[in-house]
Chain A
Amino acid sequence: MSRQPMNPIVRRRQITNAIALVLATGATLFGLLWLVWILWTTITQGASALSPALFTQMTPPPGEEGGLLNAFYGSAVMIVLAIVVGTPIGILAGTYLSEFGKTSALAETIRFINDILLSAPSIVVGLFIYELVVTTTGHFSGYAGGLALGMILLPVVVRTTDEALRLIPNQLREAGLALGLPQWKVVGYVIYRSASTGIATGVLLGVARISGETAPLLFTALNNQYWSTDLSAPMANVPVVIFQYAMSPYDSWHALAWAGAFVVTAFVLALSIAVRLFLRPRSFK
């Protein structure tokens, strides 16, 4: 502090500044507090319920021991189906936006709509697939679940592909074209290869996003108590099992729900962290 008496206006401004910055720091700590609290709960509750049986046995009836094997299997199958459906379409659409559409009105419209799909409520996607697939085929199915997840994955892939391709310098395209290559080969052999990390980021972030999605599966894949590999029948999956078991009055079901929650959260967070650390340091919304 200076020896001279401080100008009162300067003093007031400095005090305001100090208070504001302390509040901002407090807000950040407040935000982090919830993350720590939620993770702590999931770890303590979930780790105590972890056991080998979780991965070797089926979902049990109330009061009995069991695991989540059929649910893990169902989730894995539907996520793979979502990747198979969503990734190629997403990459192609992203390619159109960056290579052909660029800043045309159509491309900007599609970007706009895609960003809205990206944030649209996932339950709406579930209802749409229900109307589209479940009412026409007449029953809930693993296919419907995979399609619903694929539709949630799609806009993530479209956006990251578009962004990744636009980062590729034009000289690379020009070099390919100057060699007499048709454009599809330039994109297919040169541009995709250079942008592969960016595209992979999109797919992995999309997978992290759909792994815990529950709402769209409630009325597409529904659930199944038993081991089922039939994609055209209702299929067990981790999120819906967590939902049903957590809402139930049985303690053994609660424990299984926590174990499932622990595994899903660990998987999703590990994937998100790995993508951010190793593939692309920039954040993605």
Chain B
Amino acid sequence: MSTALHTSDQDGLAQPDRAGQPAAALGDRLFRLLTGGAAWLVLILLLGAAGSMAWGGREAFQTFGWSFITSKDWDAVGHQFGALVPIYGTIVSSLIAMIVAVPISFGIATFLAEVAPRWMRGPIGMAIELLAAVPSIIYGMWGLFVFAPFMSEHVEPWLTEHWATLPLVGVLFDGPPIGIGMLTAGIILGIMTIPFISSVMRDVFQAIPPALRESAFALGATPWEVVCKVTLPHTRSAVMGAIFLGLGRALGETMAVTFVLGNAHDFSLSLLMPGNSIAAAIANEFTEADSPIYHSALIALGFLLFVVTFIVLAIAKFMLLRIERKGR
């Protein structure tokens, strides 16, 4: 700090009093323009991304209209494209991910807030966050070569045997144990989103006023009661925000899903069957798309994905902002 001040001091002294002023004002205006322009660029990039994909997908939207979303035909040769199967796959795999990730993340946040001794919190929090740093293609490879065989040998036969006979939900687990499919993809997505959800939850848990927690403890509440009767009600919107943030990540996750989802444009209720997701369909087929309408259909899929993740992430951000304001 002292060296920084020293340099600026010298620079300041080197400047002549009056003659330097217009130059300084010009420099300031240029600097403001430059930084402001860079900031606007962030907005322009987002609008540009949305605009370019809407433009690239216009042919598909014009040709198929609403049936692009409601039809499950995906025929590259006959030029018929309907996005229902990838849309369904994206939603279902993300829902499975949330079913896996939300309770686990809540448990991790509770552990870090109430159970772990202080010295343990940093290293464990960091270890969980490293899960997020592992590139998604590594999850994909691991999923394809290690986790999918594990599912097909140990988990899926058991599911088919015990759960497929259940009423209503049985059909979800009725299928061949091939390992690759919606359930495997959903679980991997869940693991990938755990660090995002749990670290936001931990941060908001730690941000609640200490007096609130202390007064609950003073009344004789157990740590669990503090979490579910004080912390959770106080941070409800931020916890929802964390979940939506994870959902946004899961919806758009590409490589891990591409490896284990099977890229099948067949509609199936069973979670054990291969399916497709929007992101996986684009990744798998984009460079193979040989007709303009095929291309356009894939970009239109990208536009849908962009709009949906934008909405989900915006909701997440709003909910997280609410707790920030509350805290101030």
Which A residues are within 8 Å of any B CB, using their own CB?
13-14, 16-17, 20-21, 23-28, 30-32, 34-35, 37-39, 41-42, 45, 88-90, 92-93, 95-97, 99-101, 106-107, 109-110, 112-117, 119-125, 127-128, 130-132, 135, 151, 154-155, 158, 172, 175-176, 179-190, 193-194, 208-209, 211-215, 218-219, 222, 239, 242-243, 246-247, 254, 257-258, 261, 264-265, 268-269, 272-273, 276, 281, 283, 285
CB pair A26–B138 under 8 Å, yes or no, is no
Q: Which residues of B contact A122 (CB under 8 A)?
A: 252, 254
**0 or 1 for each of B36-63: is its CB under 8 Å from A? (1 = yes):** 1111111101101100110110000000
Instruction: Give the docked Cα–Cα distance between A77 and B227 (Å).
Output: 49
Most A CB atoms within 10 A — which of B20, B46, B253?
Answer: B46
CB pair B283–A212 under 8 Å, yes or no, is no
A197 to chain B, nearest CB (A): 13
Instruction: Give the docked Cα–Cα distance between A45 and B145 (Å).
Output: 11
Given the interface pairs A17-B224, A172-B1, A283-B199, the reply to whether A101 lies near B39 with Cβ below 8 Å is yes
The 8 Å CB contact of A246, one of B55, B136, B144, is B144
Instruction: Give the docked Cα–Cα distance between A190 and B56 (Å).
Output: 46
- Select from chain B the residue with minimum beta-carbon distance to A267: B135
A252 to chain B, nearest CB (A): 15
Given the interface pairs A27-B107, A93-B38, A268-B135, the reply to whether A124 lies near B306 with Cβ below 8 Å is yes
Which of B21-29, B66-74, B268-276 sits within the interface? Answer: B21-29
A277 to chain B, nearest CB (A): 9
Q: Which residues of A contact B127 (CB under 8 A)?
A: 32, 35
CB pair B313–A119 under 8 Å, yes or no, is yes
CB pair B107–A28 under 8 Å, yes or no, is yes
B283 to chain A, nearest CB (A): 6
- Select from chain A the residue with minimum beta-carbon distance to B113: A24
The 8 Å CB contact of A21, one of B30, B37, B125, B223, is B223
Q: Which residues of A contact B4 (CB under 8 A)?
A: 172, 189-190, 193-194
The 8 Å CB contact of A214, one of B49, B106, B255, is B255
Instruction: Give the docked Cα–Cα distance between A125 and B279 (Å).
Output: 12
Instruction: Give the docked Cα–Cα distance between A208 and B129 (Å).
Output: 13
The 8 Å CB contact of A23, one of B107, B141, B222, B255, is B107
The 8 Å CB contact of B108, one of A24, A119, A131, is A24
CB-defined A-B contacts under 8 Å, sample of 10: A23-B107, A31-B104, A32-B127, A35-B127, A45-B145, A92-B35, A96-B38, A116-B46, A187-B31, A212-B138
**0 or 1 for each of B6-18: is its CB under 8 Å from A? (1 = yes):** 0111011101010
CB pair B11–A121 under 8 Å, yes or no, is no
Instruction: Give the docked Cα–Cα distance between A151 and B46 (Å).
Output: 10
CB pair B108–A27 under 8 Å, yes or no, is yes
Given the interface pairs A27-B111, A31-B128, A151-B45, the reply to whether A100 lies near B28 with Cβ below 8 Å is no
Given the interface pairs A20-B110, A97-B39, A123-B283, the reply to whether A215 lies near B255 with Cβ below 8 Å is yes
CB pair B251–A121 under 8 Å, yes or no, is yes
Chain B binding surface, main DSSP class? helix
**Interface residue ranges of B266-293 to A (CB < 8 Å):** 279, 282-283, 286-287
Q: Which residues of A contact B9 (CB under 8 A)?
A: 179
Most B CB atoms within 10 A — which of A101, A123, A151, A154?
Answer: A123
The 8 Å CB contact of B138, one of A107, A175, A181, A264, is A264
Q: Which residues of B contact A14 (CB under 8 A)?
A: 222
CB pair B111–A242 under 8 Å, yes or no, is no
Instruction: Give the docked Cα–Cα distance between A97 and B35 (Å).
Output: 8
Most A CB atoms within 10 A — which of B48, B255, B306?
Answer: B255
- Select from chain B the residue with minimum beta-carbon distance to A108: B321
CB pair A257–B310 under 8 Å, yes or no, is no
Which of B164-172, B174-182, B190-198 sits within the interface? Answer: B190-198
Given the interface pairs A124-B306, A127-B299, A184-B28, the reply to whether A285 lies near B42 with Cβ below 8 Å is no
Q: Which residues of A contact B195 (CB under 8 A)?
A: 31
B48 to chain A, nearest CB (A): 7
CB pair B27–A182 under 8 Å, yes or no, is yes
A203 to chain B, nearest CB (A): 15
Instruction: Give the docked Cα–Cα distance between A254 and B146 (Å).
Output: 13
Given the interface pairs A21-B114, A127-B53, the reply to whether A185 lies near B11 with Cβ below 8 Å is yes
**0 or 1 for each of B244-261: is its CB under 8 Å from A? (1 = yes):** 010011011111001100
**Interface residue ranges of B96-151 to A (CB < 8 Å):** 103-108, 110-112, 114-116, 122, 124-131, 133-142, 144-146
- Select from chain A the residue with minimum beta-carbon distance to B109: A24
- Select from chain B the residue with minimum beta-carbon distance to A188: B31
Given the interface pairs A89-B41, A264-B135, A269-B130, the reply to whether A16 lies near B11 with Cβ below 8 Å is no
